[in-house]
Amino acid sequence: MHRLRTYFSVWTWSLLMIIHSDLFMCHQLRADVKGVKITTDQTIDSSSLETIVQQAIQRAQAKTNDEKAIAIYEYLHNTIFHWAYPVESAPQSVGPLKIINVYGWGLCGGQHTVLKALFETAGWECRYVGWPGHTTIEVKYDNRWHYFDVFLKCYYWSKDKTHIVSQEEIAKDPSIVLDAMKENRAARQNLCCGDAPQDVIQGCQHRHIEGNAKGWASVTWRDQDYQPLVHLPLHSSLTLAWKGDPFGFAVSGKPPQHSCGIKDFIHDKVLGPRLEHYGPRNWSNGTFLYQVHFQPDQPFDYLEFQNAMVTQHGLTVQDPNKNNGKGVLILQLPSAYPFVSVNISTDSNRKDDVIAVSTNRGKSWQLCRWEDISKLAKQKYHLSFKLEFQGNIQNLQLKAQVEHNRNALPYLIPGKNKITVSCNNNKLPDNSKLVVTYRYQESNIANPQKRSRWDGKGIQYGPIKTVSREVNRLPYKFEIDVGGNAPPKMIDLTRELKAVSK
């Protein structure tokens, strides 16, 4: 306890000196890439509500408003699954883009808040409609209301097949629902998770208009202070895998996994072949790796040095007579995905070096043991680290596990896949290169025409294939030709920003 108090007093004094004096030299050369984006001509760019709406409609070749609404509904059905409401600690919040890119799951009001946001982005009016024990929405276009339920997995065409019906129409004529399957007027996967037509009818008959609330439960109507854009400092990489590690989820409680198993894709010839490789829908993980070898005349983005400078001996205390003979290293780490765990190490792993963590962008700091960093980092999107050290540091490594939704990633399909690599301003730092790597296994099925279930059985996987491209200019386009007669099993997608020797 005495030692901890000593560290705290030294750290407090150091922070005051940093703020109120000019005794410390700050070093920060920028060499990063913001908004690194990988897209394909076969998938939908999930980085904004606008790109989702635009590309979902475009990929479906939708013409009428009904067709456009169905395309948006189908995209979301393919992307999210049933589980609890995702909750984050204040002031963080969960909006539509977090549901899509980070978690991939929610309950009825949360899922329909995302669908509502997409429909509103398309330019249509929406409203919440409450049932006993269920929250739905309706969307208005062509001067009438239309009912889409991405949680129950249903929508219905009118008897004359001229439009998607409203809940009022269903309440007046239950045969719209009861006869929908035999008359081919139902959604492609109508009530695929086990709900009954009578549940829909009773819900519509007992509905009440909730109005246009700004979100539902823990899900806000729009994202606040969040964009799913990948930022890479020099010497870093981000690998997003299609499968999750045991206990690799950021939320507290039970593991988030589709509560209906594989009902939503086991009989779906569109969605099933893409999802069957991984079992029930659940969380997925990725790894952010930042490795620095301190050498003179190199940029070290996201790092600041105070009373320290880089020499041939590494990061070295600049003036042993200042700040009790200690240098300060500050690392700012923004992320598009929430951290699950974080491990920081230096070449010496000196336990007497003092480290503090900030989860609010430097507004406050908490002294921390090295082994306790993950406890503070879990489910956060921006971390700051302050390390007080003596002597010198030659190497610094940060390895973090993150959580993401694999169903929002740019997957590959059999045949030619046109890949585009871009970033915010489409400029790479001088003397750097961006390396993009896909890994996957081609899939083959003996009699694909006879398959009626997509549960991972009867598939032969080839060896893991690696396709890597070194990118020196953006935007960059290339093709991946995938073999096999079924969608491949995706392994991971890596983005790495490397220094190029002068």
pLDDT, one tens digit per residue, over 93-116 is: 999 999 999 999 999 999 999 999
Task: Kindly tell me the burial class for residue 481, based on how many C-beta atoms sit within 10 Å of its own C-beta (0-12, 13-18, 19 or more).
Answer: exposed
Q: At residue 22, does pLDDT exceed 50?
A: no
Handedness of CA 454, 419, 499, 336 (dihedral sign): negative
Work out the pLDDT band at 431, boundaries 50, 70, 90: confident
Q: Please, what's the b/e burial string for 114-148 (b: 16 or more CB within 10 A of its CB; e: otherwise)?
A: bbbbbbbbbebebbbbbbeebbbbbbebeeebbbb
Tens of pLDDT, residues 137-176: 999 999 999 999 999 999 999 999 999 999 999 999 999 9
Tens of pLDDT, residues 358-394: 999 989 999 999 899 999 999 999 999 999 998 899 9
Work out the pLDDT band at 31, boundaries 50, 70, 90: confident
Mean pLDDT on 385-414? 96
Distance CA 272, CA 278 (A): 11
> What pTM does this model have?
0.92
Q: What pLDDT is attached to residue 389?
A: 92
Q: What pLDDT is attached to residue 301?
A: 82
* CA atoms in the 13 A half-sphere facing the CB of 286: 25
Kind and range of the H or E element at 164? none
Fold observed for domain 48-220: C8orf32 fold (3.10.620)
Lowest mean per-residue pLDDT among 14-18, 370-374, 491-495: 14-18
**Is the backbone peptide bond immediately before 132 cis, with ω within 30 degrees of 0?**
no
Quickly count: other Cβ atoms within 10 Å of residue 93's Cβ.
18
Mean pLDDT on 387-402? 94
Which residues fall within 8 angstroms of residue 199, CB to CB, at 6 or more apart? 152
Rg from Cα positions in the chain? 26
Q: At residue 324, does pLDDT exceed 50?
A: yes
- Average pLDDT value for the chain: 92
Q: At residue 29, does pLDDT exceed 90?
A: no
More confident residue, 177 or 23: 177
Lowest mean per-residue pLDDT among 160-174, 362-376, 395-409, 468-482: 362-376
DSSP string, 316-332: EES-TTSGGG-EEEEEE
Q: At residue 27, does pLDDT exceed 60?
A: no
Contact 489/454 with Cβ under 8 angstroms? Answer: no
Contact 435/471 with Cβ under 8 angstroms? Answer: yes
Q: What pLDDT is attached to residue 300?
A: 83
Q: At residue 397, does pLDDT exceed 50?
A: yes
Classify residue 247 as left (phi > 0), alpha (psi -120 to 50) or beta.
Answer: left
Mean pLDDT on 36-63? 98
Lowest mean per-residue pLDDT among 26-40, 70-84, 139-153, 158-172: 26-40
Q: Where are the domains of the chain?
A: 2-26+288-403, 48-220, 230-242+409-499
Q: Which residues pair with 33 in a beta bridge?
A: 232
Fold observed for domain 2-26+288-403: Jelly Rolls (2.60.120)
Give the rounded percent of residues in the chain with a pLDDT score beyond 70: 93
**AA letter at 433:** K
Q: At residue 501, does pLDDT exceed 90?
A: no
Work out the pLDDT band at 30, boundaries 50, 70, 90: low
Which residues fall within 8 angstroms of residue 370, CB to CB, at 6 or more apart? 344, 349, 351, 355
Tell me the CA distances in angstroms from 228 to 50, 376, 397, one per residue in order.
13, 22, 24
Q: What pLDDT is attached to residue 5?
A: 36
Q: State whether residue 391 is helix, strand or coil.
A: coil
SS (H, E, C) 32-67: EEEEEEEEECCCCCCCCHHHHHHHHHHHHCCCCHHH
**2-26+288-403 and 48-220 share one fold:** no
Work out the pLDDT band at 195, boundaries 50, 70, 90: very high
Q: Please, what's the b/e burial string for 382-405 (b: 16 or more CB within 10 A of its CB; e: otherwise)?
A: bbbbbbbbebbbeebebebbbbbb
Tens of pLDDT, residues 447-458: 988 999 999 999
Task: Kindly tell me the burial class for residue 469, based on how many C-beta atoms sit within 10 Å of its own C-beta (0-12, 13-18, 19 or more).
Answer: middle
Tens of pLDDT, residues 210-255: 989 999 999 999 999 999 999 999 999 999 999 999 999 999 999 9
Q: At residue 15, does pLDDT exceed 60?
A: no
DSSP 154: B
